[in-house]
């Protein structure tokens, strides 16, 4: 488990540092234009996802996301111990990535977000974002495994813009972003509902994938 956990921690570190760091940079350079700031945040995140999944996918599966890890555990592709190790690595590596972003931009390392993200619309956005992410991963693995890095990166790039929540779609990054009072932050009190919506979306995506991607023999 050592190499997969290291890969998950490193991947989460760079992904979460990218999400928060590019958000800080975008906000500083956009002159108050939120659309431009979100565009900068989006491009950096999508690009980093492609790199990290390509680089680390063969070692750990490149989940960087407890919801994705849960799905692969429920598919019996990874055991409970490995799944737990993945989630711990994602959280630890991700929080360190957020703190590294603060350090790079000369901000207080320890922060708590004040940015409210709540309401039925945003919860629906997180459900749909995570539902689509799980379907993207599972369907692309079956149809064209070598395209997974591009498919996931492009899906998240699109989901930043078509979902009301800007597509966190990841319980670990939701927790980590609550520790950054920046463009990408979320108030800690809003975290539980986001995570509940994400897990529900992941389970729904898994359920639909079992029907949609079933072999002909299995669907008879």
Choose among 161, 184, 139: nearest CA to 28: 184
Mean pLDDT of 112-125: 98
Q: How sure is the predictor about 139, in pLDDT bands with cuts at 50, 70 and 90?
A: very high
Quote the pLDDT of residue 150.
98
Residue 220 has pLDDT above 90, yes or no: no
Residue 110 has pLDDT above 90, yes or no: yes
Quote the pLDDT of residue 118.
97
Q: How far, in Å, CA of 125 to CA of 127, rounded?
A: 5
The total number of structural domains in the chain stands at: 1
Q: What is the extent of the structural domain holding 135?
A: 2-219
Query: Is residue 174 classed as helix, strand or coil in its secondary structure?
Result: helix
Query: Is residue 147 classed as helix, strand or coil in its secondary structure?
Result: helix
Each residue's pLDDT tens digit, 42-93: 999 999 999 999 999 999 999 999 999 999 999 999 999 999 999 999 999 9
The enclosing domain of 68 has a CATH number of: 1.20.1080.10
Q: How far, in Å, CA of 44 to CA of 26, rounded?
A: 10
Quote the pLDDT of residue 1.
72
Quote the pLDDT of residue 181.
97
Each residue's pLDDT tens digit, 172-215: 999 999 999 999 999 999 999 999 999 999 999 999 999 999 87
Quote the pLDDT of residue 219.
41
Lowest mean pLDDT among 9-13, 135-139, 215-219: 215-219
Quote the pLDDT of residue 215.
72
Predicted TM-score of the model (pTM):
0.95
Rounded to the nearest integer, the mean pLDDT of the chain is 96
Q: How far, in Å, CA of 100 to CA of 13, rounded?
A: 9
């Amino acid at each position: 488990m050592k190499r997969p956990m290291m890969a998950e921690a490193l991947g989460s570190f760079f992904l979460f540092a990218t999400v928060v760091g590019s958000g800080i940079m975008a906000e500083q350079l956009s002159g108050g234009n939120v659309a431009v700031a979100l565009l900068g945040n989006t491009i950096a995140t999508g690009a980093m996802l492609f790199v990290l999944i390509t680089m680390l996918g063969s070692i750990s599966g490149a989940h960087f996301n407890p919801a994705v890890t849960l799905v692969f555990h429920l598919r019996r592709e990874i055991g409970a111990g490995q799944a737990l190790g993945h989630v711990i690595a994602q959280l630890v590596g991700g929080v360190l990535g957020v703190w590294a972003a603060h350090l790079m931009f000369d901000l207080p390392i320890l922060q708590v977000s004040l940015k409210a993200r709540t309401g039925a619309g945003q919860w629906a956005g997180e459900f749909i974002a995570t539902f689509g992410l799980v379907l993207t991963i599972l369907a692309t693995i079956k149809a064209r495994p070598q395209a997974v890095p591009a498919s996931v990166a492009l899906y998240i790039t699109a989901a930043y813009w078509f979902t009301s929540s800007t597509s966190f779609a990841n319980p670990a990054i939701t927790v980590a972003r609550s520790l950054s009072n920046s463009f990408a932050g979320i108030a800690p009190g809003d975290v539980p509902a986001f995570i509940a919506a994400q897990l529900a979306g992941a389970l729904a995506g898994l359920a639909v994938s079992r029907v949609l991607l079933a072999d002909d023999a299995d669907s008879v």
